[in-house]
Structure 1
Amino acid sequence: MTASAADALHTIIDLIRYGASRFNAAGLTFGHSHDNALDEATALVLHTLHLPPDLGPAYGQARLLPEEKQAILALIERRVVERVPVAYLTGEAWFAGLSFKTDARALVPRSPIAELIESGFEPWLAGREVYRALDLCTGSGCIAIAMAHYNPDWQVDGVDISDDALALAAENKARLLADNVTLLKSDLFTGLSGRHYDLIVTNPPYVTNAETDALPREYGYEPELGLRAGDDGLDLVLKILRDAPIHLSEDGLLICEVGESEQHLVRLLPEVDFAWIEFKVGQMGIFAVECRELIAHSARITELAASRP
């Protein structure tokens, strides 16, 4: 960018418009908290200026100091040239109305499960009491911490196999004062012997090998451990379905995200009554299933899980 071009940018709106134009012209991929160039540019500009994400439009004409402008333009350039997700450039992602620290130790928080948390998991819980909840494959801790934030009387465990992810989750736990969250290292359920839950929520790796290999450059900054899950994306999901009843209360509920691998799961287990959840924008590959339903079909689920590495 030439100095004369930079000199033509003066206000918050100028920088947001410029960033969005650069992002669209560069053909960037959007999928990390934001799904379009304008929202990404807005998030980048407001974070860099230490302003809230819901800043009123009246401030759009506020003029920037030279050093503020240069900081923003440098990040815009990195986003375009290096294809780094904006959330990694700013170190922040919003999830369920909360600000989480985010970096390459875990996936950028972006699951539609945030909408379920804010709605109290209704109507899926159907008013049943929850005393203990589990976030399996917690990553940055966003689901566990958000559940704990909105339900201070719940005791929530956040579990992951990655030491890096758990370290980031611990920072977010301290950041958001989530005293009712316990973070544990475990390979799925293997380290949770004797622990039982009324609700298990999980956003495990579910991207197929072919899809992982073809992901745009932006996703290469995220840990592959949080994405790749076999030829049909179900290597971990089938093990979760197999073992969840051991750790669920009798009328417990499992909520699991499988994304595009929904089609493969329905094909493998057509007899299981998965309730596919409708969100504001439609179905998003997330199901709810009762513990008793998993028990009823445990033989078939166990058979399928045994065939996975």
Structure 2
Amino acid sequence: MSQTLEQAIAAGAELLAASSESAKLDAQVLLLHILQKPHSYLFTWPEHALNAEQQQQFNTFCQRRLNGEPVAHITGQREFWSLSLEVNATTLIPRPDTETLVEQALEVAVPATAKVLDLGTGTGAIALALGSEMPNWNIIAVDRVNEAVALAKRNQQRLAINNVNVKQSNWFSALENEKFNLIVTNPPYIESDDIHLNQGDVRFEPLSALVADDSGMSDIKQIIIQSRDYLLSNGYLLIEHGFDQGKAVRDFFKQMAFINIKTVKDLGDNDRVTLAQWT
């Protein structure tokens, strides 16, 4: 039997309550994706009845969510920096914490026509957010995974952000003789034995985009070391990292002779981004 929108959300929220901290929101997002309507539609037409096909699809989506599958994978999209991005299981799902990295990148002192590099771009979220804000920046976004490169290119083309160029590269490997005013990255930084890898959405995301050796620091250290050959004088490197890695990242920046090093907290008041300048 078909439900009204109000009934469907209530039933979906009740079903998902045991497995999701955002059960009602999950139900709303799944239903809106099926209806292809804005959020306001739920409040304007709560008595609107689902047809049989919509009801079946909503039940299926709720069951997938109950099994732990991320909402973003079920709908195939996630909003980041007010941009609607296509997502899939080949990359990380963009998270609100990463908007801290975008905010900091927009605040550093670089030329109006800055050359910018986004390492490990995944969906393209960081590069496309920066490109949408700074149309005069020349941004290269790289990822080593073929499927991620294809995904980021689709997002770039659909959003028509034409100052972002997506390439395949394992960190800096395909960037010979190029130098940048600004390098940004959200690399793998989780330890392989971290209990959070068995919880929530990360169970459905690629481990290669999450886990790093050396207490989660191996990729971060590699990027800091190599970036010195790719930064212009007075250029900046900004790195997203774990909530407990701020001091380790600052110490390694200092060891590698960077200056003006600082760590910035995310919306949850956790250390999230460390930036430093190369001279």
TM-score, normalised with respect to structure 1: 0.80
Matching residue's letter, 2:16: F
Q: CA deviation at 1:282?
A: 2.1
Q: CA deviation at 1:222?
A: 1.4
Q: Residues 138 and 158 of structure 1 are in contact (CA less than 8 Å); yes or no, is this contact kept in structure 2?
A: yes
User: Structure 1 residue 246 and structure 2 residue 232: aligned?
Assistant: no
Q: Distance in 1 between matches of 2:131 and 2:57?
A: 35
Q: CA deviation at 1:213?
A: 8.0
Match of 1:149 in 2: 132
1:271-305 deviation digits (Å, cap 9, x = unpaired)? 5653121344323421121123xxxxxxxxxxxxx
1:20-40 deviation digits (Å, cap 9, x = unpaired)? 222222x34x6xxxxx22222
Q: Distance in 2 between matches of 1:255 and 1:80?
A: 36
Q: CA deviation at 1:182?
A: 1.1
SS in 2 for 1:209: coil
SS in 1 for 2:181: strand
Q: Residues 10 and 64 of structure 1 are in contact (CA less than 8 Å); yes or no, is this contact kept in structure 2?
A: yes
Match of 2:9 among 6, 16, 19: 16
Listed as ranges, the matches of 1:266-285 within 5 Å are 269=252, 271=254, 274-285=261-272
Listed as ranges, the matches of 1:155-194 within 5 Å are 155-194=138-177
Match of 2:26 in 1: 40
Match of 2:49 in 1: 63
Listed as ranges, the matches of 1:69-218 within 5 Å are 69-81=55-67, 83-115=68-100, 117=102, 119=103, 121-122=105-106, 124-126=107-109, 129-211=112-194, 214-216=197-199, 218=201
Q: Distance in 1 between matches of 2:194 and 2:232?
A: 35
The change in CA–CA distance for 1:284 and 1:70 in structure 2 (over 3 A counts) is farther
Identical residues among aligned pairs (%): 28
Q: CA deviation at 1:212?
A: 6.7
RMSD: 2.5
Q: Residues 210 and 231 of structure 1 are in contact (CA less than 8 Å); yes or no, is this contact kept in structure 2?
A: no
Matching residue's letter, 2:51: L
The change in CA–CA distance for 1:37 and 1:106 in structure 2 (over 3 A counts) is same
Give the aligned length: 275
Q: CA deviation at 1:238?
A: 0.3
Q: CA deviation at 1:253?
A: 1.4
The change in CA–CA distance for 1:39 and 1:269 in structure 2 (over 3 A counts) is same
Matching residue's letter, 1:247: Y
The change in CA–CA distance for 1:241 and 1:261 in structure 2 (over 3 A counts) is farther
Q: Residues 207 and 261 of structure 1 are in contact (CA less than 8 Å); yes or no, is this contact kept in structure 2?
A: no
Q: CA deviation at 1:77?
A: 0.9
TM-score, normalised with respect to structure 2: 0.88
User: Structure 1 residue 288 and structure 2 residue 271: aligned?
Assistant: no
Q: Residues 233 and 261 of structure 1 are in contact (CA less than 8 Å); yes or no, is this contact kept in structure 2?
A: no
Q: CA deviation at 1:126?
A: 4.3
Deviates more, 1:157-166 or 1:172-181: 172-181
The change in CA–CA distance for 1:22 and 1:55 in structure 2 (over 3 A counts) is same
Q: Residues 212 and 227 of structure 1 are in contact (CA less than 8 Å); yes or no, is this contact kept in structure 2?
A: no
SS in 1 for 2:228: helix
The change in CA–CA distance for 1:226 and 1:282 in structure 2 (over 3 A counts) is same
1:86-108 deviation digits (Å, cap 9, x = unpaired)? 11111111111011111112111
Q: Distance in 2 between matches of 1:275 and 1:54?
A: 41
1:210-240 deviation digits (Å, cap 9, x = unpaired)? 1178422642321111011014111100011
Q: Distance in 2 between matches of 1:195 and 1:207?
A: 29
Q: Distance in 2 between matches of 1:188 and 1:127?
A: 22
Matching residue's letter, 2:152: A
Q: Distance in 2 between matches of 1:22 and 1:149?
A: 38
SS in 1 for 2:118: strand
SS in 2 for 1:246: coil
